[in-house]
Structure 1
């Protein structure tokens, strides 16, 4: 597995092919080279704890016949919202991305981004997300080969001036949100939501464009957010304030072109267990990051039960409006919510 940092010219030169034989020294013995693209720093917990180990496993289980090249931080060009189309169109072979960066294309996926839908375990909720996806989203994702879907842990509110300790503290704040549903919740709480991909968050903080935002602990150190927003608010209880739905997907023609025994290697590293692995990577990253930020001396508060109950009431209003919106699209919004809640409860109990 090669974690490649190429010049823009070289990156542009390699974008065109979808399946490369004998691509460079790192893959001289490989029959197939997979180029995988994502928007995070290579120091993030998902690249370090999931994407890179996944690539190493693919190479080992294929006996070196597959080489996986990882291009972090959008090194092959484009923006985070373009990643789905890149893998669909064969510009790259696989991507890790967030469907919510293209609002309206995957409405069923928003179910797992609703307020207080997921548990505090990214691993358990990712198992639920995979099963839900198999039931409700495979037609939406029919133009890619889906290998895993996952969510993160509970998520945290990060602010520059003071920690949020009550609902009234949201009033007037400009807060970054990752998705349409997170933004809807922030707005209902009195904040002004500012939607942006997570790589843009640090610059927005440094420029004062936002007063804070929501991201999970695990990605904070990779973005150095703890240096820009030194106040952090955690949500108590057994459900997350919000979440983000991620996919790990391959170009379907790339997958179809593999011989059967190499397809089997990909298949063995896809599905519910791989989804759980990605969620677990974020859980583990949360623990490491929170410990480091506490040691740094930043202010960390956990909301008490009364405030969480208020938040859940507001979250339920957002959920009910979403259900009505989905019904207007010809979907059964209540059924989507019921199915997701049942799966989250099932895997959280396990």
Structure 2
């Protein structure tokens, strides 16, 4: 039998005293939906500490949804470089164009109809920006719900049940009167008190109503299904410099992993290590004296581990092969995803 939920008024009173000061939270009045949407997209798979300065910088360049929609993809990709999960940036850009064409919907269903806005983001924007009576269930909210109601089913199988339990708080008058604040109070509780490890239960406003705390199993929840070992993929990349010290770069295809981002050109990433002769067939220019640099660059993606080796050469002239471009190393690095930073670091150390 599911225990009754603790009082939402207790959490809101705690939030009024202890809410985090974050750059995307308005100080008065209703929050700007564009800023709420941007923060939620940035925060997916990225920490608050990492997002804070990047959010401010992104807003300075694209202060509203009209500015973002009017920007070219290359500008957006450059500003997103280093934040990871680059499909988020593509979806953000596509969503901005749709929002300019039709306006910002104020309902969860309306937001879900926008290209690139998924169920969680739609719920978060609807609740925070428009006070819709919905509880967006991110990892923090799932963890709080798993402990409050002592849900033993492991994630990800428990996701639907946890979302339903969290949404049940909207039946309480206090939560329904302040949906946006209540959602952010749950976020803050999970981020600062009900943390993944060593939860600070003594400071929790819901301690008395927490079934996991009563049973002494709060640190064990939520349970998670063990993840399968990630496979390894291999790649060889080619760092070509011209007499002025610029490096040759290219833009990846719009669709697929790191779509539309700049890269140091190289082979496809595959399960089998590359034979040197096969790898050289992918070099940007034939016939150059490519020299292997010592060491290996590694990068972890969600579904695989990547190992890359680097070959370097210097071009006597400044010929620019079709599909490639020369860039100053610092400018190229700033516009590249972090996986490419690993290669550039390898070149420095070599």
Q: Same fold (TM over 0.5)?
A: no
TM bin (shorter chain): under 0.3
- Could you say which structure has the higher strand fraction? 1
Larger radius of gyration, structure 1 or 2?
A: 2
The one of the two structures with greater contact order (alpha-carbon pairs below 8 A, sep at least 6) is 1
